[in-house]
Amino acid sequence: MLMSNRLVKFIALPAFLLSPALAVSQSSSPAAAAPTAQAQIDALQQAVRNAQTNADNAWMLISAALVLLMTGPGLALFYGGLVRRKNILATMMQSFAMMGLVTILWAIIGYSLAFAHGNGFIGGFEHTLLRGVGLAPDTDYAATIPAQTYMVYQLMFAIITPALITGAFAERMKFSAMAVFLSLWSLLVYSPMAHMVWGVGGLLNANGGLFPSLDFAGGTVVHVTSGVSALVAAIYLGKRIGYPQTAMPPHSMVLSFIGACLLWVGWFGFNAGSALASGPLATSAFINTHFAAAAAALGWTIAEWIHNGKPTALGAISGAVAGLVAITPASGFVQPFAALFIGILAGAFCSFMVFKVKNWFRYDDSLDAFGVHGAGGTLGALLTGLFATRAINPAFGANNPTGAIDGHWGQLLNQAAGVAIAWTISAVGTLILLFLVDRIIGLRVSHEDETVGLDLSQHGEEGYDLNS
């Protein structure tokens, strides 16, 4: 049976391939030879394009999965381990809720607001309910992958960004209020910001925006917005009961450690996937991501060793995350050793933000969402302007300088403009939304609910039932 199948294929395939030639050769005229070759060339070119698409799409789908892994369980574990035992499930639920909620909102309208044609600030309604987002490429964004791949990849970013904010109001926010607040935030702060930086016609788009900003994978769109929003939320909601007199150390550094490592690996999808293709630029972004994480872990560890006398595991993993944040905007624009430098700076700078600045101002940014993401993202965005080079990515054309290191010092101003706009929109948008949700639902849990813990009070569950 097998033998005859193989035999059939042996005959059928060449016959199929040659059939145009065979068909044409029936007429047997000399002019018929040229169309045959042309048809074969066309077929070959199409096959090459298909192969390119398949290679890029494979990488992009994996990248999308990696980015989702960063939220669940990466961030869920990282944040979960850092809170007190009575709040572990509630903390993880906040990330998980984003996986569900943001997906629905993105499909209905979020994607359209971010990536449809609109104005400089926000997209339109052309892709509401994902109309027009099919399996053919959307050449505005990525010419070799299906539009739906691009859409689902971007969705994973939209999921993790609000999840990052939850770190600021950990252990004291109502689940219902959080769900409403972050849903609105996703539509009214994230989508517009994504549109401005990455959307067609966006104010900050590197392609023709008023302030062309270089943001390879979302330093501004994801980290500055979430970090600054986190700061506003932390201040608005107020400190946890007992902060800062009562020590509230992590209940499980083990979980946080695992989460941080998942974030590091997942970040390869976040940054290298932002190349939107599987070529050499993805390689650059991959290497820069890894180098920055390693250097920053070292930077924070050394800073802490000097400051406290002992290097903590929490410091090391926080450092790695800070480096990953800072390299995010720069990942597809800089040389590897610039990435190392950015990493070391981010590790030292973010540790300073968390050890010193947080204590000076006494805000309870419970899990250091601002200290790491807000501060790291801002630093990274500015350093991107410094180190971006056309040798890695000719973002403004092959003959034009990209960043300051190429001679284009004005790029630093563009980066600063992007950061300033992100800070403003995030702060103002978050403040308004918090105020609204507070009036309608009430943001903070009651004193008693906070004391007994959110797992029980919000979810009627216990994270660890050691007696069952």
Pick one of 312, 412, 416, 459: the residue that binds other proteins (CB under 8 A). Answer: 312
Which listed range, 186-194, 307-315, 391-399, 437-445, lies at the site for other proteins (CB under 8 A)? Answer: 307-315
The binder of other proteins chosen from 249, 398, 439, 447 (CB under 8 A): 249
What is the distance between the terminal CA atoms of the chain, rounded to a whole angstrom?
58
Quick one: which of 118, 199, 219, 250 contacts other proteins (CB under 8 A)?
A: 250
Q: Which range in 14-22, 23-31, 32-40, 350-358 contacts other proteins by CB under 8 A?
A: 350-358
For other proteins, give the closer residue by CB, 119 or 359: 359
Smallest distance from other proteins to CB 172, Å: 18
Task: Say how far apart CA 126 and CA 112 lie, in whole Å.
Answer: 6
Three-state SS string across the chain, please? CHHHHHHHHHHHHHHHHHHHHHHHHCCCCHHHHHHHHHHHHHHHHHHHHHHHHHHHHHHHHHHHHHHHHHHHHHHHHHHHHHCCHHHHHHHHHHHHHHHHHHHHHHHHHHHHHHHCCECCCCECCCCHHHCCCCCCEECCCEEEEEHHHHHHHHHHHHHHHHHHHCCCCCCCECHHHHHHHHHHHHHHHHHHHHHHHHCCCCCCCCCCCCCCCCCCCCHHHHHHHHHHHHHHHHHHHCCCCCCCCCCCCCCCHHHHHHHHHHHHHHHHHHHHHHHCCCCHHHHHHHHHHHHHHHHHHHHHHHHHHHHHCCCCHHHHHHHHHHHHHHHCCCCCCCCHHHHHHHHHHHHHHHHHHHHHHHHHHCCCCCCCHHHHHHHHHHHHHHHHHHHCCCCCCCCCCCCCCCCHHHCCCHHHHHHHHHHHHHHHHHHHHHHHHHHHHHHHCCCECCHHHHHHCHHHHHHCCCCCCCCC
146 touches other proteins by CB under 8 A? no
Of the candidate spans 103-111, 227-235, 354-362, 415-423, the one that interacts with other proteins by CB under 8 A turns out to be 354-362
Q: Which stretch binds other proteins (CB under 8 A): 163-171, 243-251, 254-262, 332-340?
A: 243-251
Decide if residue 302 touches other proteins (CB under 8 A).
no
Nearer to other proteins, 69 or 296 (CB): 296
Least separation in angstroms between CB 323 and other proteins: 18
Size of the site for other proteins (CB under 8 A): 18
Segment lying near other proteins (by CB under 8 A), choices 122-130, 165-173, 174-182, 247-255: 247-255
- In this structure, the number of other CB atoms found within 10 A of the CB of residue 105 comes to 21
Q: Return the residue of 45, 283, 359, 446 that touches other proteins, per CB under 8 A.
A: 359
Q: Give 175 or 243: the residue with its C-beta nearer to other proteins.
A: 243
- Quick one: 237 or 354, whose CB is closer to other proteins? 354
Torsion region of 336: left, alpha or beta (phi above 0 gives left; psi -120 to 50 gives alpha): alpha
319 binds other proteins (CB under 8 A): no
- 304 touches other proteins (CB under 8 A): yes
Q: Residues 119, 308, 424, 446: which binds other proteins (CB under 8 A)?
A: 308
Distance in Å, CB of 315 to other proteins, minimum: 8
Nearest approach, Cβ of residue 247 and other proteins (Å): 4
The window from 39-47, 226-234, 285-293, 310-318 that contacts other proteins (CB under 8 A) reads 310-318
Spatial neighbors of 37 by CB under 8 A, at least 6 apart, are none
The smaller minimum CB distance to other proteins, of residues 130 and 248, is found at 248
Residue 353 makes CB contacts below 8 A (sequence gap 6+) with 370, 371, 372, 375
| Beta carbon of residue 249, minimum distance to other proteins (angstroms, whole number) | 5
Please report, as residue ranges, which positions from 62 to 101 form the binding site for other proteins (by CB under 8 A).
Answer: none
Between 31 and 247, name the residue whose CB sits nearer to other proteins: 247
Residue 40 found at the interface with other proteins (CB under 8 A): no
- Please give the Cα distance from 257 to 271 (Å, whole number): 21
Query: 297: which residues sit within 8 A by CB, 6+ positions away?
Result: 316, 317, 319, 320, 323, 347
Contact between 171 and other proteins by CB under 8 A: the answer reads no
Of 371 and 385, CB closest to other proteins: 371
**113 is an interface residue for other proteins by CB under 8 A:** no
Nearer to other proteins (CB atom), residue 6 or residue 356: 356
Task: Kindly tell me which of 256 and 274 has the beta carbon lying closer to other proteins.
Answer: 256
Candidate residues 27, 34, 310, 398; the one interacting with other proteins per rule CB under 8 A: 310
For other proteins, the binding residue among 1, 247, 306, 398 (CB under 8 A) is: 247
Question: Is residue 466 involved in binding other proteins (CB under 8 A)?
Answer: no
Residues that bind other proteins (CB under 8 A): 244, 247-250, 304, 307-308, 310, 312, 314, 351, 354-356, 358-359, 368
